[in-house]
Amino acid sequence: MATKPLVNKVKASTKLSTLDMEQWLKGVNTRVFDLKPLLFKELIVKEDHFNEQLASLDFSNYHDAIVAIHCSVESIIPSWAWLKPIPYLNASGARFIHVGTVNDAKHGYLSHEIHNYDWTTFQDKNVIIKGCSNEAISDDLYGLVLQKLSSVASKVMIGEACSNVPLFKR
């Protein structure tokens, strides 16, 4: 007696799509740009010293990276000092630049990707937003994705194909 091959009906479905926000972070390096070495005696901002130190840096390792600009020492940093590295990082080909923590930079990058994604790829489809990931993805990003999907998808769920929670149905 011949046995029929097992068919994954979820994968075979053309109307079911999975959105995994973590995929936008796969293969993307995250780098920290620390202001500490630019400070005079690693304590205070002196404009001439800061500018000289900044101009002498090699920015090549920031190419195609998500960059978080922060300062690892407690110091009073004027607004302009946070902004000065941005043109250098931009010229190096940084993918995304954010003033703040690495987690804030990843959050900002994901928000940017969500806003710029072509959501018509999910037109009239049933979509599962993958709910579990190795990266910390905040609820507001899931909300933003649902906002985008609810204008194009016919049904949106969160979780996995075998266990999901319906969020929206047209």
pLDDT at position 111 is 97
Distance in Å from the first CA to the final CA of the chain: 45
pLDDT at position 5 is 72
Query: Hey, what's the torsion of the CAs at 113, 117, 123, 125, to 10 degrees?
Result: -30
pTM of the model: 0.85
Sheet holding 155-160, edge to edge: 16-19, 126-130, 155-160, 163-169
Continuous segment of H or E residues that includes residue 169 = strand 163-169
Single-letter amino acid code for the residue at 92: S
Q: Which residue has the tokens 């931009």?
A: 90
pLDDT at position 14 is 55
pLDDT at position 131 is 84
Those residues of the chain that have pLDDT short of 50 are: none
Closest residue by Cα to residue 60 from 24, 88, 18: 88
Closest residue by Cα to residue 166 from 109, 126, 117: 126
- The widest CA-to-CA distance across the chain, in whole angstroms, is 84
